[in-house]
Structure 1
Amino acid sequence: MNHYADFDIRDQARFLYALLTLVSDSKAKDIIGAAVLDVMHLGENIADFFHGSTIQTAPAEIHVLDSSPIHLHRDSLEVIYHQDPEKTFRSTSPKIDAALQEYYEQLSHLDTSLKCTFSASVVPESDYNSLLMVAFEIGESKELGFSEDVTLPWMDKTAPGLIEYSVTPKVPGQCTVSVRVLFGHEKSTYQCDLQPLQFELADFLVPFPWHIFNINDKTAFFDQHWVKCTETNAGTYSGVESIKILKCSRQSLADLWSNALVPSGCEDERETDDYFFFIPPCFHLMFHARTHSTDLVLHIASDYWPVLGLIDNFLDNLSFTS
């Protein structure tokens, strides 16, 4: 349990609220009433929900719960691309082929974010029904950058809420992000931890956004990237960074990854398939698939080598579901 005295100002919003309640608590009711239906009929001192209120006679308390009455479920994840012409261009590596120079200049001006939508609901078995000023606080993460914390003015068991974050990938890969929630209930303030948010490699893999870049020969573009990622590697097969055997058919993989299939421009049936994925903010993952006997052989290349440590589990799940 945390205690906050009247003079304990933790952020600007709390300070402004304290100034507001110096005038009148009814004014606070008017402001919250603009967001919460029928709040004026609660018959409660709204200031009691907020620690640090200047009209309280005793320090407010935050009650820490061992289990959360709120469940958070991720509904969707959408990739958003935005070209920023003012973004500083990083000098192109001398190892990049001249044919890719223009692409990497465009890429340096590309901002990629993930629009992540969650549904928040009150657990039916919970003793808490109507919740006020439900604030969701995201923990620190070296892999992801989140937009500002989200607050729902009101929740109950019959009215789940939707919260949305703009997530900026910084270091691709699987990660876990902590979430804490604070809310008011019956003149008291509570806080508790929610189940951490889980992000897997699959959340960061998106089919290469051809529509963002002016690329005419997609096959040549794929081949140039393959060489760029593997030119220093030696092996039996040219351009091999790693190899994986899948227990699934070539067609099942083509159906699953149809959006990432690189068009060949050749009407004849191909013996191999190429798949091209983009890993925000600026990396690539490529697959070259061919059938050997009854197995499917995947040659894998990437310019972000840590992804190879995660690829086995990712592909095993694909093989299992295909």
Structure 2
Amino acid sequence: MHFSGMEELSEKVIDKLCDMYSRHSRLAPNLIGLVNRIQEHLDDPVWSVKLLIGLQKCIMEMPPPQLTIHNLSWHLKVLKRVAKEGQITQRNTIYLLLNILINSNLCERGNWQVGNAVLAVCRNLLEHPSIDQVFIELADLLQYISVHYDGMDIKDHARFYYTLLTNLSWEKRTGVLAKGLDGGRAKERSHSAIMAESEGIASNLTVHKTNRHVLQLIKVQEKASQRSSERSELLETTGEAENWLEVYQGQFQTPGFGSEVTLRYNLTHAKDTDPLFDKVFTICLHFELKDSNYAKVNDIHVPCVFSDRKPPVVIVKLKPFQPYPTTLCVSAIFTTQDGRSWHSRLPDVSVSFPEIFLPLPLPPNTSCECKEQVFDHIWEAAASGNPDKSAISLFCFKTADESLADLIKTHFQGYLITDQQSKRSWKVLFFLPPMCHVLLKITQTEDAIQVSIATDNWELLPFVNSYLQNITDHCSTTVTDG
């Protein structure tokens, strides 16, 4: 199509075509065909790119009533074609798709054709040369689909695209997608292949399910002192202050302070796995909680796990609403060497009560006297505070001197506030996010060991008593009084 330098005529034709499309969206295939023919026959198809930009703008400016499911299917075909042009910025396209999904009931309806059409746009976006400019936006879109779309097939494909986006370079990603279009190896067909525009890419997107556990998370055993030093690194050192309770409480004015528990696990192969899974790549770990006591746990991405190599360490951050024991249901999507994608459940991960313990979060190099001042203030507040929240209790057990020393070193070392062995007295404080405390005063008498307990959350007492019972179960006698 030539305009002999008549720029004004060129713009008028584009405006007319866009106006016609806004009233008759079923013309989408015709306009896409026009663009393709122009690009086939012209070395510098500037006009066709301008037409696509005009169509993209036209769709962006359409009022919501025009974005019906029927019309949306045509618009998505146009946006899919627009996404193939490296000269056209794609941020507006992503914003539109995310806005439609969030502010409509498309996700709840779970229409497979619409979901597949949205993913077709995303697929072209994955190959766009300026993808780095919209990396976060596209990641948000894919993650939203993978969580909220009511269709497992669409969810799995969105997770697969998300994995490609976040784990592969642009060159490798385009290579994987190009291989899918060329056919690649013979793959099993799924429901996706019935309606997908390319059987090759549909097969490449198939997510197979394993019959048994392939991976597992094994807890990395940490000393409380290690957790203490890491915790301190997150805090800023403050100057000397007369009232350390105010210093301590003032830290919680910072949003998010002391709100997380960090747990470390080795991601390893489960026992007796198929050799097919000896090397797995681009693992995406997904977590579900069995209760409402914790905030949602973010997905974790691991580049690879090889059976003959040291397992990678996975860091899981828990944000408690209530610091109770919990269980994490874990699943993984990963790729094997033959290019196939798999979905596999991992054994559930139990988070015990003591795993939530953190040392008293005060700035580094805080003196023992200052820590004890904070301890005493919290103890007094719990002992004389609101009975609907605070509580005190007593736990007693018998043990030899050597056993008591071992018990304190093993279980309380990182949480000690004072260690007065000469007076046979110890003070211990456990901090539990978001802002709960369990305080222990351990006293050795002639007849038994007395553990006085104070807490600002009385609902924690059963867990505290069970914990103390567990670590002293080698003793002959235990007594609790609450």
Same fold (TM over 0.5): yes
What residue number does 2:469 align with?
A: 316
- Map of 2:342 onto structure 1: 190
Deviates more, 1:299-308 or 1:43-52: 43-52
1:305 aligns with 458
Instruction: Measure, in 1, the Cα distance between the counterparts of 2:371 and 2:304.
Output: 50
1:189-268 alignment, distance < 5 Å: 189-211=341-363, 216-232=369-385, 241-249=392-400, 250-256=404-410, 257-263=412-418
Structure possessing the higher relative contact order (Cα contacts under 8 Å, 6 or more residues apart)? 1
2:436 pairs with one of 283, 302, 311: 283
Q: Kindly tell me: are residues 245 and 233 of structure 1, through their superposed partners in 2, closer, same or farther at Cα, counting changes over 3 Å?
A: farther
**1:273 equivalent in structure 2:** 426
Match of 2:31 in 1: none
**Counterparts of residues 136-175 of structure 1 (less than 5 Å):** 136-140=285-289, 142-145=292-295, 148-159=298-309, 160-175=311-326
Q: Which has the larger share of strand? A: 1
Give the Cα separation in 1 of the matches to 2:281 and 2:462.
44
Could you say what secondary structure the match of 1:262 adopts?
strand
2:240 is aligned with 1:133: no
How much does 1:62 deviate? 2.9
Which amino acid is 2:443 matched to? R
* Number of residue pairs aligned between Structure 1 and Structure 2: 291
Q: Which has the larger radius of gyration?
A: 2
Determine what percentage of the aligned residue pairs are the same residue.
14
The answer to whether the 8 Å contact 1:136/1:181 transfers is yes
2:331/2:344 contact within 8 Å kept: yes
RMSD, aligned CA: 4.3
Structure-2 change in CA distance of 1:151 and 1:274 (3 Å): closer
**Equivalent residue, structure 2, for 1:65:** 210
**2:223 is the alignment partner of 1:75:** no
Matched letter for residue 166 of structure 1? K
Aligned to 1:114: 261
By how many angstroms is 1:212 displaced?
Answer: 5.2
- Secondary structure, in 3 states, of the residue corresponding to 1:132? strand
Q: Which residue of 1 aligns with 2:198?
A: 55
Aligned partners of 1:104 and 1:314: how far apart in 2? 27
State the alpha-carbon separation in 2 of the partners of residues 242 and 187 from structure 1: 59
Instruction: Report the structure, 1 or 2, having the larger helix content.
Output: 2
| Aligned mate of 1:295, from 440, 443, 448 | 448
Structure 2 residue runs without a partner (length 5+): 1-110, 130-163, 237-242, 476-482
CA distance in 2, matches of 1:193, 1:31: 29
TM-score, length-normalised on structure 1? 0.71
Structure 1 191/163 Cα, relative in aligned 2: closer, same or farther at 3 Å? Answer: same
Specify whether residues 293 and 156 from structure 1 end up closer, same or farther in structure 2 by C-alpha distance, changes over 3 A only.
same
- In structure 2, do the counterparts of structure 1 residues 8 and 314 end up closer, same or farther at CA, with 3 Å as the change threshold? same
Rate the CA distance shift 1:295–1:10 in 2: closer, same or farther, 3 A.
farther
SS of residue matched to 1:316? helix
